[in-house]
Structure 1
Amino acid sequence: MAAQTPHSTEQAALSLTLAVVTASPGPLLLLDGDLNIVAASRAFGEVFEIDVEAAAGGPLSGLGAGEWDRPRLLSLLAATASGAAPIDAHELVLQRPGHPPRSLVIHAQPLAYLDLDNPRLLVSVTDLTQSRSDHKRKDDALAQSLVLLSEVRHRVANSLQIIASVLLQNARKTRSEETRGHLKDAHNRVMSVAALERQLSQSTEEEIELQTYFVSLCDSIAASMIADPDQISLIVTGDGGMVGAHTSVSLGLIVTELVINALKHAFPDGRHGRIVVDCQVRGPNWSLSVTDDGVGMPAQPSLIRTGLGTSIVQALATQLDAAVETGPAHPGTRITITHTQIALVDDEEADEPAAGRAAAGL
């Protein structure tokens, strides 16, 4: 068998490259150093309606009706052909006469040939028009859904507020103190959910800023249950933070129950005082406390009463994987609900103590 010369090897490599480019199932171009078309795949011709045989030997800028004559693209291709970095992803919008614009991504890579005086450039074209269009339709549908959801939540909040108003009116009309108390409690529970729905209707996210939510909620409770703001004040403190809608529903109901309980029991006989709702959020960890400076808890545990509100708070805290702690506030009572999610220790940090123990022979 006759030995192959460098020239024959080069010709064989070029012939193979031309065959691969021509048969490629995707749009491919093989250009020379002057950005003239050496070969084009049949897929390129079909996608962009180009006669690939007639285009061979002509400049890239002359393809079609001149839509490929893009100075930025030609400059990048020339730089790549001269040995600069390859084009990883150059985006352009191709506007062909009589056709809608197409979003393309261009990749270009110089090919290594023995004949360095005749560089070759392999150019692939990815058409993202359909996927971009699909994404846009998806984004438009999502935006429309969010608008509809916001409207639904706004209507739900209005409906809940109407229900709460009816409950409050009935509470004022009834002669039974016990019934009046139950109706007022129900009113505040409904207002708790209504305040949350109103917050969600004004937000584009499925999260709630607790500080704003608790201020709105406590204003509503104070308006319905505190006759004289100079006698009892209800304030919100803390740095707030964002939590999911599901968590905020439970926290709002917990605040409602604890504030109602404090207003009922902490300030008997016209006693003046203050109730503080404090919330702190640190990533996945959060704490909520409701503190009053009232008469405090009975000294004898047997005298501590557990009613419906206490059961509701405990049940909601359990759903949130949170712990409830009740204790004195000197004066008054503080109830704290804490959710702690244990962070995973970094592998390197975990290995260091182990290595230290091994070195110490422990």
Structure 2
Amino acid sequence: MAAHTPTHSEEAALSLTMAVVASSPGPLLLLDGDLNIVAASASFSDAFDLDLAEAPGRPLSSLGAGEWNRPQLRALLKATASGAAKIEAFEMDLERPGRDVRRLVVHAQRLVYLDMENLRLLMAVTDLTDTRADERLKDDALRQNLVLLQEVRHRVANSLQIIASVLLQNAKRTRSDETRSHLKDAHHRVMSVAALERQLAETGNGPVQLLTYFTNLCDSIAASMIADPGQLSLSVTGAGGVVDPRTSVSLGLIVTELVINALKHAFPDDRGGKIVVDCEFRGANWTLSVADDGVGMPNNPAHIRMGLGSSIVQALAAQLEATVDVAPARPGTRVSIIHTAIALVADRDDAVGGAAAALGQPAA
């Protein structure tokens, strides 16, 4: 069979391709079917410090000190030339004597010139070394920050425990029952905040599983404030949810205040009973409640006083854009923190109008 003679159109297409490759701002090589270099961009020469003046006609594997002679790269290029594959993003390390290793990404595709028998491959190379180094630096900095944050939280928790010990010692020394009560309240709150910080240090800076978080917190409160677990119990129920650490701190402080308030007021005269913390999260809608089966609220609303704990709960709920609901539990009392996400009327009208338009019907 007679050899194929390139037409003027084929020659023009090849010449244009070679011109585009030579002037490309990115590292490019034009290869033939045997992986010999047809043309190379000046940027390829600059990027890899190669003299490509005599490169045309030479095998790709002969470039430099042989660093491009990679069996896997050659196999992928051969497969691309045959049409059996296409190199989308082949990563390789370019190792050259006396130089730093470069991390490269190679892309190659087969070019077709009309009925031309001599196929061509266009090979583009991207150097990701500096980008990957920046990513590693960011990851290292993030890990260091997380370690530092955990260390700070551990130190804060230890300092709070020291403060709590001092408060407890002062409570034992004082002769005033009222002062002793205030000091013990302060001790319990400081111990609870210390428990929160310690748990956050253990969970790191990622999402917090509330069911586990509240269970551990309530175990800490029960251990320090409930003398007889057989008489008075503290438990956690519900499906829970996942929140960020900052939100978990606010929710943890709310639980702490409500549980301490129930322990102080719901079970006078060594009365037995139970306290249940329940959390149910459904996306942006959630309810956190603390219920007891104690003596309940006074019948006369005038006898209900807003103490420090109640003020703290109200303030924390406001920060979370939630409402506080206090209701009889029959027996006992239930305090619920409720967050409800309601779509605006304007958003609803837009949604209805959009849906009606999609159906070809007038909006209601």
Check the 8 A contact 2:6/2:116 in 1, yes or no. Answer: no
The CA deviation at 1:151 is 1.0
1:88 and 2:54 correspond: no
Specify the code of the residue in structure 2 equivalent to 1:152.
Answer: V
Larger displacement relative to structure 2 (65-74 or 101-110): 65-74
The answer for unaligned runs of 5 or more in structure 2 is none
* Counterpart for residue 310 of structure 2: 310
Residues 136/353 of structure 1: CA separation in 2 closer, same or farther (3 Å cut): closer
Residues 131/343 of structure 1: CA separation in 2 closer, same or farther (3 Å cut): farther
Residues 346/94 of structure 1: CA separation in 2 closer, same or farther (3 Å cut): farther
The CA deviation at 1:319 is 0.8
* Counterpart for residue 40 of structure 1: 40
Residues 237/59 of structure 1: CA separation in 2 closer, same or farther (3 Å cut): same
Residues 360/51 of structure 1: CA separation in 2 closer, same or farther (3 Å cut): closer
Specify the code of the residue in structure 2 equivalent to 1:143.
Answer: R
Once residues 62 and 357 of structure 1 are traced to their aligned partners in structure 2, the CA distance between those partners, rounded to angstroms, is 65
Check the 8 A contact 2:146/2:205 in 1, yes or no. Answer: no
Once residues 350 and 80 of structure 2 are traced to their aligned partners in structure 1, the CA distance between those partners, rounded to angstroms, is 43
* Counterpart for residue 165 of structure 1: 165
1:125 and 2:129 correspond: no
Specify the code of the residue in structure 2 equivalent to 1:212.
Answer: T
* Counterpart for residue 327 of structure 1: 327
Deviation readout 1:312-334 (Å, 9 max, x if unpaired): 21111111011111112121111
Check the 8 A contact 2:356/2:363 in 1, yes or no. Answer: no
3-state SS of paired residue (1:66):
coil
Two-structure CA RMSD over aligned residues (Å): 2.7
* Counterpart for residue 293 of structure 1: 293
Once residues 26 and 357 of structure 1 are traced to their aligned partners in structure 2, the CA distance between those partners, rounded to angstroms, is 49
Deviation readout 1:56-85 (Å, 9 max, x if unpaired): 101112222222122222122122222345
Once residues 190 and 182 of structure 1 are traced to their aligned partners in structure 2, the CA distance between those partners, rounded to angstroms, is 12
* Counterpart for residue 101 of structure 1: 101
Deviation readout 1:98-121 (Å, 9 max, x if unpaired): 222211111112223134201111
Once residues 359 and 26 of structure 2 are traced to their aligned partners in structure 1, the CA distance between those partners, rounded to angstroms, is 59
Specify the code of the residue in structure 1 equivalent to 2:252.
Answer: G
Residues 90/353 of structure 1: CA separation in 2 closer, same or farther (3 Å cut): closer
Check the 8 A contact 2:231/2:273 in 1, yes or no. Answer: yes
Once residues 306 and 236 of structure 1 are traced to their aligned partners in structure 2, the CA distance between those partners, rounded to angstroms, is 26
3-state SS of paired residue (1:297):
coil
Residues 123/144 of structure 1: CA separation in 2 closer, same or farther (3 Å cut): same
Where do residues 193-208 of structure 1 align in structure 2 (5 Å cutoff)? 193-208=193-208
3-state SS of paired residue (1:54):
coil
* Counterpart for residue 246 of structure 1: 246
3-state SS of paired residue (2:53):
helix
Deviation readout 1:135-177 (Å, 9 max, x if unpaired): 1122112212211221111111111111112112222222222
3-state SS of paired residue (2:7):
helix
Residues 55/246 of structure 1: CA separation in 2 closer, same or farther (3 Å cut): same
Once residues 224 and 204 of structure 2 are traced to their aligned partners in structure 1, the CA distance between those partners, rounded to angstroms, is 30
Specify the code of the residue in structure 2 equivalent to 1:232.
Answer: L
TM-score, scaled to structure 2: 0.89
Check the 8 A contact 2:352/2:363 in 1, yes or no. Answer: no
Check the 8 A contact 1:276/1:292 in 2, yes or no. Answer: yes
Larger displacement relative to structure 2 (68-77 or 121-130): 68-77
Where do residues 117-266 of structure 1 align in structure 2 (5 Å cutoff)? 117-266=117-266
Once the two structures are aligned, what percentage of the paired residues are identical? 67
